[in-house]
Amino acid sequence: MLWIPILQEFVFKHYEKPLSGSIVLANDVKADIKSWFDGTFAPAKEKYLNDHFGFRNRFLRLADQLNYSLFHAVSAKDVVVGKKGFLYEVKYLQAYAGIDFIGDDEVKSRFQKIKFIQDTLEKKGIHLVLLFAPGKASFYPEYIPAPYEVKGQKTNYEYFVAEANKQKVKYLDFNKLFMQLKSTSRYPLYPQTGIHWSVYGMHLAFDTLVKFMEHQSQKKMRHYDYYDVYMSSDLITPDGDIGDGLNLYEEPLHYPMAYPHIKWQDSANVFHPKVLSVCDSYWMGMYFLGLPSRTFQNHEMWYYNKMIYNNDPQGKTYDPADYDLKTSIEKNDFIFIMATEASLKLMGWGFIEEVYAMYKASPAVYEVLKKQRKYNAEINQIKINMHTDLNWLKQVQKQAKELKISLDSCVQLNAEYMYKENHQNDLPQASNGSDVFAMRKDFYVNEIHKDPKWLKIEQDKSKKWKVSLDSAISIDAAFMANEEIRNDKK
């Protein structure tokens, strides 16, 4: 039995289907005098052999299958097996239970910013709309297993909708729509072994969105007709995305799903709006179905506000920080910010705070904000280059060990050093002290809102100090801005 992996690896070379999910395999290493005597070669080689021995993937699939079939247990991270084989992700169950609720003050503060942005853009003829995507836990609570099945008293979704109504923020609630259609829809709106809305559900949602946009713009847009909808047990992505990630020998049991064949109507003499969508993975499904590209013009998807997808022919993605934020926004007719219930706590992923700060700032501060955004983009690019250059990365790893700091911290320090080296001959620019302080304070406010752990610390401080969350964040942001300016003067 022990010889089987060796025979596969060196004699038969049998093809192994790769495992699904976020799996990082160790790279092979070669021995040299230094690694041999400092003891780093053996552990690195052992890790490589453990990740690449013969029939490894088959053995892992077999083990996962036995755990799933016998004990309804899975090795996939943060996946929960519900009743009747329904699969969930933990973050959706936490959102349903209200565990990730961000608090009344934070909800109110965030929507005050959104309302300000919406009113500002409306004067420029731009529609800002929030899109509440559905969530599987809310859609199928009847299959949630213990101890997750208890509905939370306060959830982000319920409070977001209530605050949007209170402050008259435009939104489209797909979560409510899907719940209304649950008992009457001819075809499944959610898959049994997937976490996103079904392919059929995406088509239904996008058609609803286009009708909403027509109402907002008072202009006729392009539509599609269903000429056939077929049922199939061969799932099309993403209808079985969680099931695929379980890495089982056999696909988990599931009911058939619906797949529409559509025919696009004539694109002439209709409105093709320019659209920016800042979103999570729920919009991505519609993007890869090609629905936005056939309906909009110059559509950009800012995935988690970190990557720009714009139907590049070569599939390239871009960094939003590389572009002027104001120009990126004001070239559009519609701006959508979409999040499912599990993503609401971070909805916008810093976009709301950045845009709010930009339109609130004076012209001088806006210029500083642009420089900060450009600085962040260049720092990020240096870090990417560092991670892709193995020789450079090895040097940084060695440095991190010598300094006894984390690799991430050492990468950041090296990126900042390289930035200073690249710009040491730049001409100094005069700046107003109060504007610089305001810019740096806004920067830290934005960073706090983007970091869940940091935000939780500020929530605890607000309770301890008996002040609002905004006040606690403002105090700490001002302190850090002052410290940064003081250190610059040394």
Tell me: do 248 and 377 sit in the same domain: no
203: in domain: yes
What pLDDT, on the 0 to 100 scale, is given for residue 426? 72
480: in domain: yes
Tell me: do 166 and 303 sit in the same domain: yes
Tell me: do 343 and 392 sit in the same domain: no
24: in domain: no
pLDDT, one tens digit per residue, over 130-176 is 999 999 999 999 999 988 888 878 999 999 999 999 999 999 999 99
55: in domain: no
Tell me: do 266 and 381 sit in the same domain: no
Q: Token pair of 107, please?
A: 């909800």
pLDDT, one tens digit per residue, over 441-477 is 777 887 888 788 888 888 888 887 777 788 788 888 8
What pLDDT, on the 0 to 100 scale, is given for residue 175? 97
Domain boundary among 347, 374, 399: 347
Tell me: do 284 and 382 sit in the same domain: no
Task: Considering only residues 319 and 212, tell me which one the structure prediction assigns the higher pLDDT.
Answer: 212
Tell me: do 315 and 176 sit in the same domain: yes
Which of 127, 145, 289 minimizes the C-alpha distance to 212? 127
DSSP 151: P
Peptide bond into 147 cis (omega under 30): yes
Collapsing DSSP to helix, strand or coil, 271 comes out as strand
63: in domain: no
For 371-384, what is the mean pLDDT? 80
For 417-421, what is the mean pLDDT? 88
Which of 383, 306, 300 minimizes the C-alpha distance to 349? 306
User: What residues contact residue 331 under an 8 Å CB cut-off, 6+ apart?
Assistant: 274, 298
Burial of 199 (0-12, 13-18, 19+ CB in 10 A): buried
Tell me: do 342 and 382 sit in the same domain: no
Categorize the per-residue pLDDT at 21 as very low, low, confident or very high, splitting at 50, 70 and 90: low
Asked whether residue 7 carries a pLDDT value surpassing 60, the answer given is no
| Sign of torsion over alpha carbons 49, 407, 349, 364 | negative
Please name the residue that has the structure tokens 């973050």.
91
Task: Considering only residues 363 and 116, tell me which one the structure prediction assigns the higher pLDDT.
Answer: 116
Task: List the domain range (segments joined by +) for residue 392.
Answer: 363-424+431-488
For 78-105, what is the mean pLDDT? 93
CB 263 within 8 A of CB 227: yes
Number of domains in the chain: 2
Tell me: do 413 and 304 sit in the same domain: no
Domain boundary among 290, 320, 347: 347
Tell me: do 387 and 341 sit in the same domain: no
Domain boundary among 317, 347, 377: 347
pLDDT, one tens digit per residue, over 260-313 is 999 999 888 999 999 999 999 999 999 999 999 999 999 999 999 989 999 998
- Rounded to 5 degrees, φ, ψ at 464 are -65, -40
What pLDDT, on the 0 to 100 scale, is given for residue 37? 58
Tell me: do 331 and 464 sit in the same domain: no
Taking the C-alpha atoms of residue 274 and residue 214, their distance in angstroms, rounded to an integer, is 13
Categorize the per-residue pLDDT at 18 as very low, low, confident or very high, splitting at 50, 70 and 90: low
Ramachandran sector of residue 259 (left: φ over 0; alpha: ψ -120 to 50; beta: rest): beta
Tell me: do 201 and 263 sit in the same domain: yes
Taking the C-alpha atoms of residue 328 and residue 276, their distance in angstroms, rounded to an integer, is 8
Tell me: do 116 and 232 sit in the same domain: yes
| Sign of torsion over alpha carbons 76, 79, 82, 85 | negative
Q: How far apart are the first and last CA of the chain?
A: 68
pLDDT, one tens digit per residue, over 199-222 is 999 999 999 999 999 999 999 999
For 347-366, what is the mean pLDDT? 84
32: in domain: no
Strands 297-303 vs 127-132: parallel, antiparallel or unpaired: unpaired
For 124-131, what is the mean pLDDT? 98
51: in domain: no
21: in domain: no
Asked whether residue 61 carries a pLDDT value surpassing 90, the answer given is no
What pLDDT, on the 0 to 100 scale, is given for residue 427? 59
